[in-house]
Chain A
Amino acid sequence: MSTTTPPSIESFRADARAWLAANVAPRPRRTEIRWGAGSDRVSLFRDTSAEEERAQLEAVRAWQRKKFDAGFGAISWPAEYGGAGMAPEYEVVFRQVEAEFVTPMIVEALSISVNLEARTILHLGTPEQKQRWIRSLRRGDELCCQLFSEPGAGSDLGSIALRAVRDGDEWLIDGQKVWTSGAQFADIGYLVARTDPHAARQRAFTAFLVPMHADGVTVRPLRQMTGGAAFNEVFFDNVRISDSARLGEVGTGWAAMMTTLAYERSGAAEGLGMAGDELVDRLVRTAAHNGRTEDPVVRQRFAEFYGRSRMRSWLADKVDAQVRSTGIPGAEGSLLKLAYTRELQAAGDLAGSLIGPAMVADTGAWGTYAWSAFVSGVPGLRLGGGTDEIQKNTVAERVLGLPREPR
Chain B
Amino acid sequence: MNPDAAERTSVAQQLRAVVRGFLTARVPSAEARRFLDPGQRYDATVWSTMADQLGLPSLAIAEEYGGAGAGWREVAVVAEEMGRALLPSAYFASVVLAAGAIAAAKDDAMAHELLPRLASGRATATLAALDDDGRWDHATFALTATDAADGYRLSGTKTFVFDGRSADVVVVAARTELGASLFVVDGASPGLTRTPLPTLDPTRPQARLEFTDVSGRLLGVEGQAEPALARTFDLALLAAAADALGGADRCLQMAVDYAKERVAFGRPIGGFQAIKHNLVDLYLEVEFARVAVEQAAQAADSAQFAEFSMLASLAFAQCAQTYALVATENIHIHGGIGFTWEHDAQLFFRRAKSTQVLFGDTGFHHERVAAYLLGRTDSVH
A, B assembled together: yes
A400 x B280 contact (CB < 8 A): yes
Residues of A in contact (CB 8 Å), total: 38
B279 x A300 contact (CB < 8 A): no
Determine if B380 is an interface residue (Cβ-Cβ < 8 Å): yes
**Inside 8 A of B280's CB, which chain A residues have their CB?**
335, 338, 392, 395-396, 400
Question: Given known contacts A393-B276, A403-B271, is B288 in contact with A308 (CB within 8 Å)?
Answer: yes
**CB-defined interface of A374-407 with B at 8 Å, one 1/0 digit per residue?**
0000000000000001001101100111111110
Closest chain A residue to B252 by CB distance?
Answer: A400
A396 x B373 contact (CB < 8 A): no
Bound complex: CA A310 to CA B291 (Å): 9
Determine if A153 is an interface residue (Cβ-Cβ < 8 Å): no
A293 x B279 contact (CB < 8 A): no
**Inside 8 A of B167's CB, which chain A residues have their CB?**
none
B379 x A306 contact (CB < 8 A): no
**Inside 8 A of A335's CB, which chain B residues have their CB?**
280, 283-284, 287
B377 x A293 contact (CB < 8 A): yes
A305 → chain B closest CB, angstroms: 10
Bound complex: CA A216 to CA B121 (Å): 81
Closest chain A residue to B378 by CB distance?
Answer: A294
Bound complex: CA A76 to CA B159 (Å): 61
A311 x B318 contact (CB < 8 A): yes
Closest chain B residue to A342 by CB distance?
Answer: B284
Q: Among residues 253 to 301 in chain A, which have CB atoms less than 8 Å away from a CB atom of chain B?
A: 280, 284, 287-288, 293-296, 299-300
Determine if A312 is an interface residue (Cβ-Cβ < 8 Å): yes
Closest chain B residue to A335 by CB distance?
Answer: B284
Contact of A339 among B284, B363, B370 (CB under 8 A): B284
B279 x A307 contact (CB < 8 A): no
Q: Among residues 129 to 152 in chain B, which have CB atoms less than 8 Å away from a CB atom of chain A?
A: none
A338 x B268 contact (CB < 8 A): no
B49 → chain A closest CB, angstroms: 33
Determine if B317 is an interface residue (Cβ-Cβ < 8 Å): yes
Determine if B97 is an interface residue (Cβ-Cβ < 8 Å): no
Classify the secondary structure of A's interface with B.
Answer: helix
A300 x B370 contact (CB < 8 A): yes
Question: Given known contacts A315-B287, A402-B276, is B366 in contact with A303 (CB within 8 Å)?
Answer: yes
Q: Among residues 266 to 281 in chain B, which have CB atoms less than 8 Å away from a CB atom of chain A?
A: 267-268, 270-271, 273, 276-277, 279-281
Q: Which of B260, B287, B317, B369 has the largest number of chain A CB atoms within 10 A? A: B287
**Inside 8 A of B367's CB, which chain A residues have their CB?**
296, 299-300, 303
B279 x A400 contact (CB < 8 A): yes
Determine if B256 is an interface residue (Cβ-Cβ < 8 Å): yes
Determine if A318 is an interface residue (Cβ-Cβ < 8 Å): yes
**Inside 8 A of B363's CB, which chain A residues have their CB?**
300
Determine if B295 is an interface residue (Cβ-Cβ < 8 Å): yes
**CB-defined interface of B358-381 with A at 8 Å, one 1/0 digit per residue?**
000001011111100111011110
Bound complex: CA A310 to CA B310 (Å): 12
Question: Given known contacts A312-B288, A314-B294, A392-B280, is B375 in contact with A293 (CB within 8 Å)?
Answer: yes
Closest chain B residue to A301 by CB distance?
Answer: B366
Bound complex: CA A280 to CA B370 (Å): 12
B259 x A402 contact (CB < 8 A): yes
Bound complex: CA A404 to CA B268 (Å): 11
Determine if A302 is an interface residue (Cβ-Cβ < 8 Å): yes
Contact of B277 among A299, A303, A396 (CB under 8 A): A396
A311 x B288 contact (CB < 8 A): yes
**Inside 8 A of A339's CB, which chain B residues have their CB?**
284, 288
B373 x A306 contact (CB < 8 A): yes
Q: Which of B271, B373, B379 has the largest number of chain A CB atoms within 10 A? A: B373
**Inside 8 A of B295's CB, which chain A residues have their CB?**
310, 314
Q: Which of A294, A312, A338 has the largest number of chain B CB atoms within 10 A? A: A294
Determine if B292 is an interface residue (Cβ-Cβ < 8 Å): yes
Question: Given known contacts A284-B374, A306-B373, A311-B318, is B288 in contact with A392 (CB within 8 Å)?
Answer: no
**Inside 8 A of A299's CB, which chain B residues have their CB?**
366-367, 370, 374, 377, 380
Q: Which of A306, A393, A400 has the largest number of chain B CB atoms within 10 A? A: A400
Determine if B314 is an interface residue (Cβ-Cβ < 8 Å): yes
Bound complex: CA A395 to CA B281 (Å): 10
Closest chain A residue to B271 by CB distance?
Answer: A403
Question: Given known contacts A284-B374, A296-B380, A392-B276, is B288 in contact with A399 (CB within 8 Å)?
Answer: no
**Inside 8 A of A284's CB, which chain B residues have their CB?**
373-374
Bound complex: CA A226 to CA B82 (Å): 51
A307 x B283 contact (CB < 8 A): no
**Inside 8 A of B259's CB, which chain A residues have their CB?**
402
**Inside 8 A of A402's CB, which chain B residues have their CB?**
256, 259-260, 270-271, 276, 279
Determine if A304 is an interface residue (Cβ-Cβ < 8 Å): yes
**Inside 8 A of B369's CB, which chain A residues have their CB?**
302-303, 306-307
Bound complex: CA A201 to CA B367 (Å): 52
**Inside 8 A of A294's CB, which chain B residues have their CB?**
377-379
Bound complex: CA A339 to CA B292 (Å): 15
Bound complex: CA A312 to CA B289 (Å): 10
B317 x A307 contact (CB < 8 A): yes
B291 x A315 contact (CB < 8 A): yes
Question: Given known contacts A315-B291, A393-B276, is B284 in contact with A300 (CB within 8 Å)?
Answer: no
B15 → chain A closest CB, angstroms: 19
Q: Among residues 312 to 335 in chain A, which have CB atoms less than 8 Å away from a CB atom of chain B?
A: 312, 314-315, 318, 335
Question: Given known contacts A299-B367, A303-B366, is B377 in contact with A403 (CB within 8 Å)?
Answer: no
Question: Given known contacts A312-B288, A314-B295, is B373 in contact with A389 (CB within 8 Å)?
Answer: no
A310 x B314 contact (CB < 8 A): yes
A311 x B375 contact (CB < 8 A): no
A229 → chain B closest CB, angstroms: 33
A-B contact pairs, 27 of them (CB 8 A): A287-B374, A288-B374, A295-B379, A296-B377, A296-B379, A299-B367, A299-B370, A303-B367, A303-B368, A303-B373, A306-B369, A307-B292, A307-B369, A308-B288, A310-B314, A311-B291, A311-B292, A311-B318, A312-B288, A314-B294, A389-B277, A400-B256, A401-B260, A402-B256, A403-B268, A404-B271, A406-B271
Q: Which 6 A-B pairs have the closest CB atoms?
A: A403-B271, A303-B366, A299-B370, A303-B369, A314-B291, A311-B288
